[in-house]
Amino acid sequence: MIIIKSGPEEGLKAGEGLRLVAAMLGMDHIPIIVFMKEGVRCLLRGAYGETGGEYLKTAADLAGINVLSDSLEDLGGIEAIEPELGAKLIDIGQLASMMVECNVIATF
């Protein structure tokens, strides 16, 4: 599982997480990807440049993206997220269930 909780303006943290996702996908290891806290801002329109946007779109297309619903309160809901990403809302209980199934959880 890869959890992105750093926003796009916080240096390279979120971008490194997306690069790790791309590497995992290249090795046929499909990670569970969750955006939460400030990391949800990575999913807003125009949050990333061309390269980061490509990593994000690839992750969404091949693995799917989950968003912790509590993290969307300040943004006005799922409508604020780039619709092309097809993000799925999850609650804290669903996140906990996903985490239990994982051997490794990396947070960026």
Q: What domains lie within the chain, and their CATH numbers? A: 2-107 (3.40.1260.10)
pLDDT average, residue stretch 77-104 = 94
Per the prediction, the chain carries an average pLDDT of 91
pLDDT average, residue stretch 68-83 = 89
CA–CA dist 46, 97 (Å, integer)? 31
pLDDT in tens, 25-65: 999 999 999 999 999 999 987 776 656 788 899 999 999 99
Show the tokens assigned to 90. 């999850």
Q: Is the pLDDT of residue 20 over 70?
A: yes
Q: For residue 65, give the nearest of 84, 85, 92 by alpha carbon.
A: 85
Residue 91 burial by Cβ neighbours in a 10 Å radius (0-12, 13-18, 19+)? exposed
User: What is the three-class DSSP state of 89?
Assistant: strand
DSSP codes, 48-70? S-HHHHHHHHHHHHHT--EEEGG
